[in-house]
Structure formats: C-alpha cells, structure tokens
Structure 1
Amino acid sequence: MDERVTVVVATRNRRRALAGSLPHHPRPVILVDNGSTDGSPGFVRRHFPDVTVVEAGRNLGAPARNVGVRMAGTPYVAFADDDSWWAPGALARAADVLDAHPRLAVLAARVLVGPQERLDPVCEEMARSPLGREPDLPGPSVLGFLACGAVVRGDAFLEAGGFDDVIFFFGEEERLAVDLAAKGWGLAYVDDVVAHHHPSPSRDPRGRKELATRNSVLTAVLRRPWSVVARRSLAALRQGPNGWRGLRTAVPRLRPALAQRRGLPPAVERARRLLEDGR
C-alpha cells in the first residue's frame, strides 16, 4: 500500500475478471460499476469489503474513471481495467517518479500482455517516441497512452476534463493527452513501472475496429484541423465495412463533438503530426 496512490477500476459485467484481478491491487481501490447486470457490485462488496464500490447506475463508458478520480483522496491515481493489475512495487515507484517530476501529468507504464507477458505494441511505439525526452520528464515524451497502464496526477487529469462522453470508450486517451499537453503538462513513458493486462479472448474484434474508426474521426473533429478529419474519414472509407460502420456510428456524435471543438497550440499539433508521420 502507498498512501499517495489510489487504484481506480471501471467495470461492466465482468465479475469473473474482477475475481482474478482485484486481489492483485494494492489498496486503496475504488471500483466504479457501469450498470452491471451480472451482480458485480454485490459480489465485490461480499468478497472484497475493503474496495470502495460506486454504482453509476448506467454505462458511463470511460468517464466512469472520472468519478473515481474525484473521489480519490490521494494525489495520484492508477487506472486499471477489470482484467489488468499493477506489478508489486510498481505504484510506489510511480509515485516516486511523479513526486520527482512536478510537470508530469501522465506516467505511461510498460504493459505486459497475457501469461506470456508480451510487451504491448503501443509500449514499443512509446519507447521509441520521435518526440524525444524533455529534461524535466523521466522518459520519452508521448501524446497517448494505455489507460490500463497509466498513473495520473489527479488535479491535472481533472483540469484537462478527464475522459469525455463524446468518445465514450476505446481510444479515449488521445483527446485527453493532447489537452494535457496544451495546458503545459508532460506525459512520459517510464519503462520500469509495470502493469499486467490479461484481455478476455471473448472480445469482439469487429466491434472494436468500428469503435476505433469512430473515435479516431471524432477525436479529430474535437481537436484537429479539418485536413486531419478528412484524412481519417477517407482512411475509414477505404477500410471497407468496418470503416463504413464506424463512420456511420460517428454521425450521431458529431453535434456534441462540434460544440466542444477547439484547436490545439501549434507546438502540440506539430508534435501530434510528427507522431503520425513516424508510424
């Protein structure tokens, strides 16, 4: 247990996964339930009475994590999915790094996937980030992260608006990352802070591709130049049925996205383009 860090878990209908992951979390833990119908809240209260359970009553998506951050009584918050957990000692190390680097808002950890502990490909990209390493940050600068492998500075997270309900779920990290950078906060990949992720084999790959397409376009509408919106929309059209469905599901969310649209500072936009050109 580290009194500087709270673990926040967002979940929905994943009681079995929680039974395996919650024992790994150092306390304190706040679990925000997104309207589960499988009895998850009661199960957690019975078997893990030291976990604070918050029932949202409906599916809030990624913004459920915002609820946990607001409730946390610690300066730092470590996110976890219902199928992920932090390695022993990882959060104490993360807190030490955040203490030592006051501009750091997001510490992106090394995420090991499955029993084979394969390095997540996103971590490979972050480790070789073309943005380099700023002198007041503890690792390569990044403009994205994996939520299940991130420790955030709570006040910076909330200042930037947390996760939003336009994106709702999947790929929610990009908009938050650029908004934090726009406010002068730093984001860095720190390889010696480790999280484990054991994703369920029952996930719907087609549905996730559609969500990725939808949210890539919506994120561009929220913060990027129209040329980027056009480029991402054209790429979606070229994907075939998954891309078409993703674009179609983006349409009902365009009005709130346009209402919240604002440009990024030129330096942040240039950095984001550098990352995209380097892929």
Structure 2
Amino acid sequence: MNHAAHHGPTTTRERPRPDDATRPAPVGIVIATRDRRASLAVTLRHLLALPERPEVLVVDNASTDGTRAMLAHDFPQVRVLALPFNRGALARTHGVRALDTPYVAFSDDDSWWAPGSLRAAARHLDAHPRLGLLSARTLVGPAGTADPLNDLLADSPLGTATDLPGTQVLGFLGCAAVARRTAYLDAGGYHPLLFFGAEETLLAYDLAARGWGVTHCPDVVAHHHPDPRPRTGRPAVVRRNELLTAWLRRPLPYALARTRALTADARRDPH
C-alpha cells in the first residue's frame, strides 16, 4: 500500500554531511511549511540548539512569502526540499523519503522538541523493533500548558503491550510524533485524500493494520506554539477528514454511526 505517489520536487538544497566524529542522532526532523517564515525561523532556532544535533529537513509547500530565501540566508545548514505546489500533509512523506535516518521526528513550523526527547525516542525505537510510531506529550504555548490530547492518549482503552513502550493508541498529533522510517513508508504515509486536518488517525490505522505498534510515550516531549487566531473553515475540514477516515478504514456500521454524529455536529456549528 503506497498512498503517497511521488510527483517530484523541483529543487533540493543539501547541507554538508557530517564526518563520523560529529555524526548527529539517528533521528532526523521533517518540517512541512507554507507561507509562515517568521514562525518557521523560531522553530528552526530551537531545533538547531538541541543537544542531539538532528538533521533538519524543511519541505516547503510552494511558499510565496520568501520562505526559501529566508532559509538560504539565515539557515544555510538546514536542508530544503522545495515542492512545486502545495502537497499538504504529503509534504511530510516527501521529507521522509529524502532523509536516510532510521527514525524521523515531525515538527510543524510552530513546534519543536524538548532537549533530550529525541534521544529518548531513539532509545524506545531501538529497544522495541515493532514500534512504528510514538506519540509525544505536547506542551502548548509559553506557559507549557499540557495539551488535553495528552490525557486522552494516556487513558487509551488499548492499554499496554509487552513488546511496546507506553500506552497503545490509534491517534497522535502530527507535530508531536516520531516514526520508524521503514514503518512509515510501509504504511504508505499520509493519505493524499485528506491533505491537512485530522489526517493522523488514518495513518495510525494503517500502521496498526501492517502490524506496527503506535504508542503514547509521555517521556518524549514536544512544544507547540500555535497561532491563537481562529483558522477559518478548520472545523469543517476536520469533520470531512474524520468522515473520510471512517468510510475508508472502519466497518460499515461504525461509518454510518460516525456520519450521523458528524452531521449533527455540523448542524450545531455556528460557523
């Protein structure tokens, strides 16, 4: 199964490979971005200061705000993969294919990893060969407020498995996940139909269907600083993708029930 057909980026800019004495951690970082150069610059400063010294790859979804020029001028040590048009979440799959690290951490252009967390994630992945993806604990904003999703994941009814760390889950936050590269590609990456918005659940389903473990490991921490302004149309996109996920992967009775529930939600939404 390979949802992410390769349409070919236009250009790439490679950073020099380190020698053996300064080899970075086995976790590389992929960032998908579009037209958010100011917040991307903040993210990169945090990521480049990590003690693990990860390789960082920015996949630019055809930005028009000078993102590529900013990267070339201010962050020449960062690899850039420039896509000819906006691929949404599929940009992450282009990034995974371009990296050759065994593990790939995902950041958005408004999120970064806590120092030491990538090392902790690598330890989990090294010690548990069936682990395909781990979901981190997410802290939001300057105050480091715990994301409500943390508790939902920690309380997952799937419980634990003897050959996996943490709690088994069937969901995660896209900017707070670390994947085994081979597992991600084996599952096909993000589905092209979903683009962006609640795209993670379908990937979690596909990883589990291929026998890979998906777990929540709260000792791995990501910081998320989302723009506080409301995103027009976001609730509708999330509902659409939740509905598509249900019909693509779940049994008919579940898909019908989810359709009724989401339709009722949409009718109550004033937006």
Aligned to 2:107: 80
Residue identity opposite 2:265 in structure 1 = Q
Q: State whether residues 168 and 216 of structure 2, in contact with CA within 8 Å, keep that contact through their aligned partners in structure 1.
A: yes
> Corresponding residue for 1:6?
28
Counterpart of 2:260? 234
CA distance in 2, matches of 1:2, 1:127: 30
1:42/1:116 Cα in 2 relative to 1: closer, same or farther (>3 Å)? same
Verify the 8 A CA contact 2:25 2:119 in the aligned structure 1. no
In 1, the alpha carbon distance for the partners of 2:258 and 2:58 equals 35
Q: Do 2:40 and 2:109's aligned partners in 1 also have CA atoms closer than 8 Å?
A: yes
The answer to whether residue 122 in structure 2 is matched with residue 95 in structure 1 is yes
One-letter amino acid of the counterpart of residue 231, structure 1: A
Distance 2:151 2:183 in 1: 26
> Secondary structure in 2 aligned to 1:36?
coil
In structure 2, what is the equivalent of residue 41 of structure 1?
68
1:240 to 1:155, Cα distance in 2 relative to 1, 3 A: closer
Whether 1:225 aligns to 2:257 is no
Q: Unpaired runs of 5+ in structure 2?
A: 1-22, 48-52
1:65 deviates by 0.2
Counterpart Cα distance in 1 of 2:56 and 2:174: 16
Identical aligned pairs, as a percentage?
50
Aligned equivalents of 1:165, 1:9: Cα separation in 2? 17
Give the aligned CA root-mean-square deviation in angstroms: 1.6
CA distance in 2, matches of 1:101, 1:175: 23
Q: Among 188, 196, 206, which residue is 1:169 paired with?
A: 196
Q: Please state how far the C-alpha of 1:237 moved relative to its aligned partner.
A: 2.1
Shift of 1:203: 3.7
The CA deviation at 1:75 is 0.1
Structure 1 residue 231: Cα displacement? 1.6
The answer as to 2:214 corresponding to 1:187 is yes
1:105 maps onto 2:127 in alignment = no
- Distance in structure 2 (CA, Å) of the matches to 1:240 and 1:156: 35
SS at match of 1:194: strand
Moved more, 110-119 or 77-86: 110-119
What is the rounded CA distance, in whole Å, between the counterparts of 1:223 and 1:143 in structure 2? 12
**In structure 2, what is the equivalent of residue 17 of structure 1?**
39
Give the structure-2-normalised TM-score: 0.86
Shift of 1:207: 1.4
Find the aligned partners of 2:43 and 2:108 in 1 and give their Cα distance. Answer: 9
**1:242 to 1:162, Cα distance in 2 relative to 1, 3 A:** farther
Letter in 1 for 2:166: G
TM, length-normalised to structure 1:
0.84
Q: Residue 127 of structure 1: CA displacement?
A: 0.9
Deviations 1:196-232 (A, max 9, x none): 000012241x511111110011111111122222222
1:247-278 CA deviation, whole Å, 9 max, x = no partner? xxxxxxxxxxxxxxxxxxxxxxxxxxxxxxxx
Q: Which has the higher contact order (CA 8 A, sep 6+)?
A: 2
Task: For 2:230 and 2:79, locate their aligned partners in 1 and report how far apart those are by CA, in whole Å.
Answer: 27
Tell me which amino acid in the other structure corresponds to 2:236. E
Letter of the 2:100 partner, please give it. Answer: G
Amino acid at match of 1:118: T
Q: 1:2·1:92 contact (CA, 8 Å) conserved in 2?
A: no
What is the identity, as a one-letter code, of the residue corresponding to 2:197?
Answer: F
The total of aligned residue pairs comes to: 244
More helix per residue: 1 or 2? 1
How far is the alpha carbon of 1:112 from its aligned partner?
A: 0.3
